[in-house]
Amino acid sequence: MKDFNLSEWALNHRSFTWFLMLVAMFAGVLSYMSMGREEDPAFPIPTMVVAAAMPGATAQEMLTQVTDRIESKLQELDGLDVTRSVTYPGQTVVYVDVDDSVKGDAVDAAWLRVRNLMADIRGEFPQEFQGFSFNDDFGAVYGNVYAFTADGFDAQEVKAYVETIRDEVQKLDDAGRVALMGTREPVVNVEFSATRLAALGLDAQSVLNALAAQNQIVPSGSIQTAEERLLIRVSG
């Protein structure tokens, strides 16, 4: 029995071969025209960075008092892997990955569980511990970037207008994340004369301590009435 030869069969059935080629070309063009595409497509990156700070601690203290505790707690969560951690004096960074079985919205749910767990163990760390910061939006892309300038307005006035615009854009159905970049926060500069401070028997640290104490928010008590509880706050 003679073996089937595709080339010979195509030459002997040229009309049908051309028909199949045209159908394949038409299907390819149709698939290309209906293919979903974006200029800056978003894609999930299954990695979260958990950073923690405790100023003044050595690298060994950060490792034993912070990093090991974070890793131990994260290992309790299903579907997560602690891939590596980097510890510096006063700071630690822990990288967390999700398993390959975790897909879609389950990734966001996993990151929420991480945040909730870290919030639960916040009180287990030393008093000098400053808290956590999280980064899980590596795949976020911005389709449009707008710059705002306004002559005759200071930075805070421009920021207030831009925040209003941001809130309105955020209401759009097709809008995802809207972020402000390059904003300027108000700053108060305190200048003093070292000579005059020395004449008064003071130093720069005394001034800094006085300013820090002035900005502290401390409970001043409360008054309980028959209908409500009134909080007392002393200013000045």
Would you state the pLDDT for residue 203? 85
3-state secondary structure of 202: coil
* CATH (domain of 103): 3.30.70.1430
CA–CA distance, 44 with 140 (Å, rounded to integer): 8
Q: What is the DSSP string of 100-169?
A: TT--THHHHHHHHHHHHHHHHTGGGS-TT--EEEEE--TT---S-------TT--HHHHHHHHHHHHHHH
The mean pLDDT of 190-204, rounded to a whole number, is 85
pLDDT of residue 66: 93
User: 43 CB contacts (<8 Å, ≥6 apart)?
Assistant: 139
Share of the chain above pLDDT 70, in %: 90
Query: What is the model's pLDDT at position 141?
Result: 64
- Residue with more model confidence, 41 or 53: 53
Strands 47-53 and 80-88: unpaired
pLDDT digits (tens, 9 = 90+) for 212-225: 777 666 667 778 88
pTM of the predicted structure, to 2 decimals: 0.54
Residue 48 has pLDDT above 80, yes or no: yes
Identify whether 67 is part of a domain: yes
Residue 1 pLDDT > 60, yes or no? no
Q: Count how many domains the chain has.
A: 1
Mean pLDDT rounded to a whole number for the chain = 84
In this predicted structure, the answer to whether residue 95 has a pLDDT above a threshold of 60 is yes
Structure tokens at 232: 């007392």
Q: Do 94 and 85 meet the contact criterion of CB atoms below 8 Å apart?
A: yes
User: Greatest CA separation found in the chain?
Assistant: 115
What confidence tier does 50 reach under pLDDT thresholds 50, 70, 90? very high
Tokens representing residue 224 in the block: 């309980």
Residues 6+ apart with CB under 8 A from 161: 148, 150, 153
Going from the C-alpha of 197 to that of each of 191, 207, 215, the distances in angstroms are 11, 9, 21
Q: Are 60 and 37 in contact (CB under 8 A)?
A: no
| Any domain includes 94 | yes
Whether 235 maps to a domain, the answer reads: no
pLDDT given for residue 146 in this prediction:
87
- The number of angstroms, rounded, from the C-alpha of 50 to the middle of its chain's C-alpha atoms is 10
Q: Which residue range(s) make up the domain with 100?
A: 47-135
pLDDT band at residue 191 using 50, 70 and 90 as cut-offs: confident
Question: Would you state the pLDDT for residue 210?
Answer: 83
The confidence score (pLDDT) of residue 134 equals: 92
Distance CA 56, CA 119 (A): 22
Taking 70 as the threshold, does the pLDDT of residue 181 lie above it? Answer: yes
pLDDT grade for 23, boundaries at 50, 70 and 90: very high
219 part of a folded domain: no
Tell me if residue 181 falls in helix, strand or coil: coil
8 within a domain of the structure (yes/no): no
Is residue 116 in a domain?
A: yes
